[in-house]
Amino acid sequence: MAGEFGNPEVVEEEVDILIIGGGMGACGAAYEIGPWLDAAKAQGVDLKVKLVDKAAMDRSGAVAQGLSAINTYLGEQDPADYARMVSNDLMGITRDDLAYDLGRHVDDSVHLFEEWGLPIWKQPGDEGKPLVKGGKPVRSGKWQIMIHGESYKWIVAEAAKKALGTERIQEHVFIARLVNDKYDDNRIAGAVGFSVRENKVFVYTFKACLLVAGGCANIFRPRSVGEGTGRAWYPVWNAGSTYAMAVEAGAELTMMENRFVPVRFKDGYGPVGAWFLLFKAKATNAFGEVYLETNKALLDDFPPYGQAKVPASCLRAHLMMKEMREGRGPIYMDTVTALGKLAETMTPKEIKHLEAEAWEDFLDMCIGQAGVWAGENIEPEKKNSELIPTEPYLLGSHSGCCGIWTSGPEDLGAPTSEDHPDKDKIPSHLPQGWHWGYRGMTTVRGLFTAADGVGASGHKFSSGSHAEGRIAAKAMVKFCMDNKDHKPELDTPVERLVEQIYRPVRNYVDHQDYTTAIDVNPNYITPKMLQLRLQKIMDEYVAGVSTMYQTNAHMMDVAEQKLELLKEDALKMRAKDLHELLRAWENYHRTLTAEAHMKHIQFREETRYPGFYYRMDYNFIDEENWKCFVNSVYDKETKTWTCFKRAHVDLVDKSKLFK
Ligand code: SFD
Ligand code: AMP
């Protein structure tokens, strides 16, 4: 029997492993974990696993709408080259151990997707021939392959559900916070969440947990407000839960200053990759000038990265922004010339097919953009479309690298302790601290992450996120086996946890009769109001679109004060129903994530990502002092952040990247 609103039923459950999230990382873990559980069972240990997703796995997470490309598939290529590309696009500061490890595993996930029914485009003559049988994919770029991917998430989720078993999966449960161990505050012991459908609070205890709740959208005021609220690029339901919950559990974060400002088709956020890479389209200013060529000299301002054979995503955006700042907008994707050129050697039937592909690119993954084209009478072969740099997003799996500091692979890492059993077998070329026992584990014992959660290694995309979830699943089982006698105990009494989780409901129930207008009440603030306030602060002071991505130390001082007050008021968020309870907690997570982002930008006294953000008081790249990771930890008792540097080392030679 479910409880009542304001007085929820409490369900306590003990498992060994909890997977939080049902996206690409979680589906990878759910698929992979079975055989390792069987192996554990064969040794007499029966591990219990549960997966909880706040939504329905078939359409949850970033791949909900589908995708039209798999952006990471290596094929014949060398994982070291992949690690090089990742480093280049993220301005030199990534973990080569993580990228290399991902690169050598990712293709297996793509092969599985195809086996499960995902249609992957093949080159003429190879139609119907699977990748594993030598079928040659249609590559949009060096690393990307094209798919008919409207049902991508459905296919991947189905396999995950089948492998794990639906009895081990609980949908529509939002995890709000993690709980540390009573006897070890650097160990994880549980998680608390609530049903978004029934008046129930769930309290899980476990030995290990995979926190894969995606990245973070909607902390900056979006370009589309009232008239288009809800439109965004990364999914609005990625609310920073991964980062915020890890932070409160004491995990070390890395590179939270990094953000992604994608260049997208204006108003619909349609993807540009296929246009640039597959259709070979060029972007121009209002006068038809190709700014990547006319502004090329600006790249010299950012050595050595400006000299890369392929300039990083942020530098490409930087060249575009000069045009916008100096009044030569709008910026266009020249679809007319691109399609015209491709059509020169085609039959009318082939041209129709090409145009259909252009539409499918949007229909597969961003239907809203197809809506903009239809609504504005845009035929891409006849009329060019506007491009725009969007509001910033925080993520660790796409073209960004913020996230949690995680343990790297054992065979690429140096043992961190003298008594490590494999000390002599492992090449010790990695800096101390990049590997501490279990791949994918954070600095908190038992707390693992993958995909958007793992920092300092972007460009994993959907396939890499799945692969990384699989890697973490294996490591979690090992961790549980090594700790099989450990009995987790929560550091906070269950009643206290329930009180915290349902505080927004109490705020509402206790004060609702004070006023007649439900949204106007001195005792509470609606989640929506709080979110708008957060977005305004971040936009105006922390380098959002309204300042053309510019900030400085003074602006961030103001942001800091305002965020402090916002955090106080966040405790007064109301929830008039379960949907608002979800919104309240999402905003709580967003606020903490936004604060981490701001603190890191404040700490890094340079502009590492021109085009993504500018610290106008340090508007240059400072290789000598800042070619390092910026990491941080948060003390949830004192509510203070400590940011610090960690040394960066290139494990893969990067000289090949430059002209
Ligand atoms: O065009 C809780 N991505 C692309 N990847 C590609 O391979 N090709 C592309 O074409 C890609 N492009 C793209 C992409 C994403 C989006 C939104 C667009 C376009 C418009 C990137 C991938 O999708 C991305 O890398 C992975 O999906 C990341 O995986 P993961 O597991 O880190 O996140 P998720 O899939 O969003 O899943 C998150 C899950 O967590 C749940 N959740 N559950 C319980 N409690 C909480 N508190 C929770 N908070 C969240 C969610 O419901 C979800 O299940 S393109 O731009 O290049
Ligand atoms: P997008 O649609 O912008 O997310 O891009 C999809 C993929 O193509 C990602 O791997 C991008 O890094 C890559 N990409 C997009 N545009 C370019 C470009 N102009 N040059 C090189 N790579 C690009």
Beta-bridge partners for 150? none
The continuous run of DSSP H or E covering 204 comes out as strand 200-205
From the CA of 243, which ligand is nearest? 1
Q: Is 30 in the pocket of ligand 1 (CB under 6 A)?
A: no
- What local confidence, expressed as pLDDT, does residue 188 receive? 98
Cβ–Cβ under 8 Å, residues 635 and 319: no
d(CA 586, CA 176): 8
From the CA of 140, which ligand is nearest? 2
Give the position, in ligand 1's atom list, of the atom nearest the Cα of 173: 44
- What local confidence, expressed as pLDDT, does residue 435 receive? 85
d(CA 578, CA 193): 12
Task: Compute the distance from residue 192 Cα to the ligand 1 centre, in Å.
Answer: 22
Residue nearest to atom 21 of ligand 1 (CA): 461
Q: Class of the 498-623 domain? A: mainly alpha
- What local confidence, expressed as pLDDT, does residue 3 receive? 75
Q: Is 292 in the pocket of ligand 2 (CB under 6 A)?
A: no
- What local confidence, expressed as pLDDT, does residue 45 receive? 97
The correct answer on CATH 3.40.50.300 for the domain covering 263-389 is no
- What local confidence, expressed as pLDDT, does residue 423 receive? 56
Q: Cα angle at 624 between 619 and 629, to 5 degrees? A: 85
Length of the chain: 659
Q: Is 465 in the pocket of ligand 2 (CB under 6 A)?
A: no
Q: Is 271 in the pocket of ligand 2 (CB under 6 A)?
A: yes
Task: Compute the distance from residue 393 Cα to the ligand 1 centre, in Å.
Answer: 12
Is 263-389's fold the same as 498-623's? no
From the CA of 241, which ligand is nearest? 1
Residue nearest to atom 5 of ligand 2 (CA): 273
Q: Is 290 in the pocket of ligand 2 (CB under 6 A)?
A: no
Q: Is 365 in the pocket of ligand 1 (CB under 6 A)?
A: yes
Q: Is 212 in the pocket of ligand 1 (CB under 6 A)?
A: yes
Instruction: Report pLDDT digits (tens) over 75-124.
Output: 999 999 999 999 999 999 999 999 999 999 999 999 999 999 999 999 99
d(CA 426, CA 623): 30
Q: Is 400 in the pocket of ligand 1 (CB under 6 A)?
A: no
- What local confidence, expressed as pLDDT, does residue 413 receive? 56
Give the position, in ligand 1's atom list, of the atom nearest the Cα of 176: 47
Residue nearest to atom 27 of ligand 1 (CA): 62
Q: Is 403 in the pocket of ligand 1 (CB under 6 A)?
A: no
DSSP string, 521-557: -TT-B-HHHHHHHHHHHHHHHTT-GGGTTEE-HHHHH
Task: Compute the distance from residue 615 Cα to the ligand 1 centre, in Å.
Answer: 29
Q: Is 60 in the pocket of ligand 1 (CB under 6 A)?
A: yes
Q: Is 149 in the pocket of ligand 1 (CB under 6 A)?
A: no
Cβ–Cβ under 8 Å, residues 313 and 141: no
Cβ–Cβ under 8 Å, residues 246 and 453: yes
In this structure, the number of other CB atoms found within 10 A of the CB of residue 288 comes to 11
- What local confidence, expressed as pLDDT, does residue 321 receive? 97
Q: Is 174 in the pocket of ligand 1 (CB under 6 A)?
A: yes
For the chain, which ranges sit under pLDDT 70? 1-2, 413-430, 432-433
From the CA of 73, which ligand is nearest? 1
d(CA 193, CA 448): 18
- What local confidence, expressed as pLDDT, does residue 415 receive? 46
| pTM (predicted TM-score) | 0.96
Instruction: Report pLDDT digits (tens) over 362-412.
Output: 999 999 999 999 999 999 999 999 999 999 999 999 999 999 999 999 877
Residue extents of the structural domains in the chain: 263-389, 498-623
d(CA 452, CA 255): 13
Q: Is 526 in the pocket of ligand 1 (CB under 6 A)?
A: no
- What local confidence, expressed as pLDDT, does residue 387 receive? 97
- What local confidence, expressed as pLDDT, does residue 416 receive? 45
Q: Is 238 in the pocket of ligand 2 (CB under 6 A)?
A: no
- What local confidence, expressed as pLDDT, does residue 83 receive? 95
Task: Compute the distance from residue 453 Cα to the ligand 1 centre, in Å.
Answer: 11
Task: Compute the distance from residue 658 Cα to the ligand 1 centre, in Å.
Answer: 32
Q: Is 139 in the pocket of ligand 2 (CB under 6 A)?
A: no
Task: Compute the distance from residue 272 Cα to the ligand 2 centre, in Å.
Answer: 7
Q: Is 222 in the pocket of ligand 1 (CB under 6 A)?
A: no
Phi, psi of 175 (to 5 degrees): -85, 125
d(CA 174, CA 166): 18
d(CA 313, CA 303): 15
Q: Is 535 in the pocket of ligand 1 (CB under 6 A)?
A: no
Cβ–Cβ under 8 Å, residues 239 and 411: no
CA-to-CA dists, residue 104 to 76, 82, 318, 379, 464, angstroms: 11, 9, 32, 41, 10
Pairing of strands 628-635, 614-615: unpaired
**Probe target for ligand 1 pocket from 118, 365, 387, with the most ligand atoms within 8 Å of CB:** 365
Sign for the CA dihedral angle at 57, 248, 527, 195 comes to positive
